[in-house]
Amino acid sequence: MTNIGVPKEIKDQEFRVGLTPSSVRLLCMQGHQVAVETTAGLGAGFTDADYVQAGAQIASDAAIAWQQDLVVKVKEPLAAEYGFLRGDLVLFTYLHLAANRELTEQLIESGVTAIAYESVEVSAGGRIQFPLLAPMSVIAGRLSIQFGARFLERQQGGRGVLLSGIPGVKPGKVVILGGGVVGTEAARIAVGMGARVALLDVNVNRLTELEALFGSRVELLYSHPSAIAEAVPTADLLVGAVLVPGQRPPTLVKRKLVREMHNGSVIVDVAVDQGGCIETLRPTSHTNPVYVEEGVLHYGVPNMPGAVPWTSTQALNNSTLPFVVKLANEGLEALSTDAALAKGLNVKNHRLVHPAVQEVFPDL
């Protein structure tokens, strides 16, 4: 039997929760005990009564949830939670350590075993996939256009451009950097809204796949500095969708290039939790999502899917639950029996063990 804790998320306006009542029910049926912090699921539409009916115990405060053997969260621990970290704890959540040295140091010092959703990796058909990152990438990619369209509205400080245009007035222009899951989903929504869309990627094979998906509806360009320099100033909405697993993405758009964009245009960098690919963009929050720099609105909320917690919590649990069950049933032995889960291990026994994060912090 494993004691599992589900704390309430404390990141700004983060309404997702680590486990849904249906996930709790399955774990309890397998003989495990689950302690869910009171109101942890309320923002996603799940009441304490829902969890009790599923077999959970309701923890009156965060400390009780964190006292369990295995803690399942959504977002990385914040400073107020560092005191809960300890050597006999297994933590399973998004971490994105490459952009957060302080958290990395705290995890190492505490001795916690920290497994990151975004690092769980499988190989299928010769291609590396990240099954626990993918569902949130789909949602964030789609939201990037939804939020970008909103902040293009004049009342929000934008240019006042309607992405779809109307007969007689050309549509807005969306430029997307990166053709992975985020970029593909951003393009899908932008095309659906009727925008003019250009997508840049360094993988020619991926561009070929995207041509089969979008045909001539998306301008597909090989990403190199001159192509970026030509495309970015034409964008009403620029979406950063560059992922380098475990590391900070390269800075593709320098301040000088941002300065060439139209006043009131919008930048959304979905990979801001890993550092982002746009020099002028820094993390923001759902409470204060945008700021203006070089005349351009910058949107850098690192937990975008938290805006749609009913959808995103269930989507995330659909992917994480099999791994949670493995950890509950097998303990740390699961890292030996499941190669995909082992790839997710970032910190163990006071050591930083993930190779990509080691490259970011070689001194650690």
Specify whether 293 is located in the same domain as 356: no
Q: How far, in Å, CA of 177 to CA of 347, rounded?
A: 31
CA distances from 245 to 56, 72, 171, 266 (A): 35, 21, 34, 26
Clarify whether residues 101 and 194 are in a common domain.
no
Task: Give the CA distances from residue 179 to residues 202, 218, 227, in Å, rounded to whole numbers and listed in that order.
Answer: 9, 11, 15
Is residue 126 situated within a structural domain? no
- Answer with the one of 270, 285, 306 that is the final residue of a domain: 306
**What's 333's DSSP letter?**
G
> What is the model's pLDDT at position 340?
94
**CA separation for the pair 158, 186 (Å, rounded):** 19
Q: Is the dihedral of CA 66, 71, 77, 82 positive or negative?
A: positive
One domain, residues 83 and 205: no
pLDDT of residue 252: 94
pLDDT of residue 93: 98
Indicate if 53 and 153 belong to the same structural domain: no
My answer on whether 220 and 255 are in the same domain is yes
Whether residue 147 sits in one domain with residue 105: no
Structural domain contains residue 23: yes
Give the range of the structural domain holding residue 17, as residue numbers without chain letter.
Answer: 3-120+309-360
In-domain check, residue 36: yes
Q: Return the DSSP state at 144.
A: H
Give me the catalytic one of 273, 298, 338, 354: 273
Active site residue 298: no
Which parts of the chain sit beneath pLDDT 70?
none
Is position 128 within any domain? no
State the DSSP string of 259-297.
TTSPTT-EEEEGGGGGT-SBTT-----SSS-EEEETTEE
* 270 shares a domain with 248: yes
Spatial CA neighbour of 240 closest among 325, 194, 169, 174: 174
Furthest-apart CA atoms within the chain: distance in Å? 66
What pLDDT is stored for residue 127 in this prediction? 80
Q: Give residue 99's pLDDT.
A: 83
DSSP three-state, residue 177: strand
Q: Which of the residues 32, 96, 298, 354 is marked catalytic?
A: 96
Residues 160 and 232 in one domain: yes
Domain boundary among the residues 306, 326, 346 is at 306
Token pair of 241, please? Answer: 């969708």
pTM to 2 decimal places: 0.91
- Looking at residue 185, its pLDDT comes to 97
pLDDT digits (tens, 9 = 90+) for 57-84: 999 999 999 999 999 999 999 999 999 9
Q: By C-alpha distance, which of 143, 128, 80 is closest to 301?
A: 143
Whether residue 39 contacts residue 332, with contact meaning beta carbons closer than 8 Å, is answered with no
The reported pLDDT for the residue numbered 206 is: 94
**pLDDT at res. 274:** 81
Say how many domains are in the chain.
2
Please check whether residues 185 and 285 belong to one and the same domain: yes
Is residue 166 in a domain?
yes
48 is catalytic: no
E strands present in the chain: 3-6, 33-37, 57-59, 70-72, 90-93, 113-116, 122-124, 127-129, 173-177, 196-201, 218-222, 237-240, 266-269, 290-293, 296-299, 345-348, 351-352
